[in-house]
Structure 1
Amino acid sequence: MSLNRREMLRLGAAGAGGLLLSSAGIAADTPLLFNLKPNDPLAPVAPKVAATPIAPMGVDPAILERAKAALHSHRFFVRDRNVIGIVDFGKASHEARFHIVDLVSGRAESHLVAHGRGSDPAHSGLLQRFSNGFGSLASSNGTYITSDTYHGKYGLSMKVKGLDYTNNNAEARAIVIHNAWYAEPDMVAAHGKLGRSEGCFAFSRASQWQVMNRLGGGRMIYADKLA
């Protein structure tokens, strides 16, 4: 039986539609037409998968992962999640252990920071314990967000708020970011360690300005000790 032109066009369109539908379930690296080889320029190209980012230089990958988990957990409280602060209290006070990490670029800058004298009663330069208690004069571990600035004993300072049960007294304990003479680099040169705060994040004057400029406005700081 002969087919007229209209019927031939209808059958051709149906065949093409069936070809498109059957192709939808084929893997991306399988040639769809004319038996193309995988390296043929007309063959479909599988999407590239980004490599897993590594920790920036100087930042322990394990504490970075903890910080990122905390960022996700508290994401509704953190205004800007591209740049975070990480304090690795497993390191001694003569080491640059406060890291400002840009999660977009993967870069970090590191600063000296003092811990509380209640966390290091013997003044060994190593943090021995955390405490959230009033009058403990100790550093607390957990997730913080930065808050308002004010002028106090050490000049311009920045308040922080604790978001975890381990540091939720931070604001009431007046735990803040400030500069201090005992957190200047020459203390390390003279004594091999920084002095101690009363639980605050105490920096050199230069570092304090950089930390406040990069992390102000409700950004996150994560403080912890891995061992």
Structure 2
Amino acid sequence: MRDMLDAAHSRRAVVKNGLLLAGVLAVPGAVSAAVQRLSQSALTPVAQPPVPGFPVPVARPVTSANVVRPALLRRALAALDAQGGRVKRDRIAIADFAAPSAQARFHLLDLANGTSKSFLVAHGSGSDPSHTGWLQRFSNDPGSNASSQGAFVTADYYVGKHGRSQRLIGLDPTNNRALERAIVVHAAWYANSDMLRTHGMLGRSQGCFAVGDGDLDQVFARLGEGRMIYAAKV
């Protein structure tokens, strides 16, 4: 009986996500690139999903087994809407920091066709000082090594101390020091899935969105530049 209730709940979440996504329009926007910009060939991404034209196709139900919770999705879409033309509106990433690091909680959604792909992502050590696997707090302070909440827009790619990385610009008072703090998207060994087998949780970043080594190409290809990452604990 419990399995039947859980299955029904999952179906309702998928349908609700699909209905919310169906009303989102693709509006172009961009963020200018900075120095040390990489070419697309240097990034070696997987095949880019098609960028929708007009009219936007009717959304299909989200296909990922790790669907975004409706309350978080509504908040992320409201943040996207508030930015207007400052960010592209065809795709979005949502980091669900209410979930533990052992779950695939970094959801990349294609808002044109309603599909999604979810990845593991680490949170900052300052957000989880006791290394419980759960984010305890956010911070925007330099030196805090904590994750920040709010809306980010993806900027340029570069090669730094963590290899291929992508700069982020914080759009809210809770994360507007992201560039100053060097909060970026990058790959890290401690965000690989084998950490779950040995430790039951991921390692921690210094506040960056650290994904697994094998996932970085897919994240870069699905997200790209000028799109929103929304991070929250709802």
TM category, shorter: 0.7 to 0.9
Cα distance in 1, alignment partners of residues 223 and 131 from structure 2: 29
In structure 2, what is the equivalent of residue 118 of structure 1?
126
Is residue 144 of structure 2 the alignment partner of residue 136 of structure 1? yes
TM-score (norm 2): 0.72
Unaligned 5+ residue runs, structure 2? 1-17, 22-60
Identity %, equivalent residues: 54
Tell me the distance in 2 between the aligned counterparts of 1:180 and 1:156.
11
Instruction: Name the stretch that deviates more: 52-61 or 90-99.
Output: 52-61
Partner of residue 165 from structure 2, selected from 152, 157, 164: 157
Does the aligned pair in 2 maintain the 1:99–1:109 contact within 8 Å?
yes
TM-score by length of 1: 0.75
Pairs aligned (count): 175
Q: Choose 1 or 2 for highest CA Rg.
A: 1
Quick check: 1:143–1:164 contact (8 Å CA) kept in 2?
Answer: yes
Q: Which amino acid aligns with 2:231?
A: A
Q: Counterpart of 2:202?
A: 194
Answer yes or no: is the 8 Å Cα contact 2:150–2:174 preserved in 1.
yes
Q: CA deviation at 1:53?
A: 4.1
* RMSD between aligned residues: 1.4
Deviates more, 1:182-191 or 1:208-217: 208-217
Hey, which of these two has a bigger chunk of helix by percent?
2
Indicate if the aligned counterparts of 1:90 and 1:127 stay in contact, CA closer than 8 A.
yes
Instruction: Kindly provide the CA deviation profile for residues 122-156 of structure 1, in whole angstroms up to 9, marking residues without a partner as x.
Output: 00000000000111000000000000111111211
Counterpart residue type for residue 74 of structure 1: Q
Q: In the alignment, is the contact (CA less than 8 A) between 2:148 and 2:207 conserved in 1?
A: yes
Moved over 4 A (4+): none
For 1:1-227, what aligned pairs fall within 5 Å after superposition? 52-53=19-20, 56=62, 57=65, 58-78=67-87, 80-226=88-234
CA distance in 2 between partners of 1:208 and 1:167 (Å) = 23
Q: Does structure 1 conserve the Cα–Cα contact (< 8 Å) formed by 2:20 and 2:74?
A: no
Deviations 1:15-39 (A, max 9, x none): xxxxxxxxxxxxxxxxxxxxxxxxx
Q: Which amino acid aligns with 1:165?
A: P
Could you tell me whether the CA contact under 8 Å between 1:53 and 1:106 is conserved in 2? no
Residue 52 of structure 1: how far off its partner (Å): 3.2
Q: Take 1:75 and 1:196, find their aligned partners in 2: how far apart are those partners?
A: 33
What runs of 5+ residues in structure 1 fail to find an aligned partner? 1-50
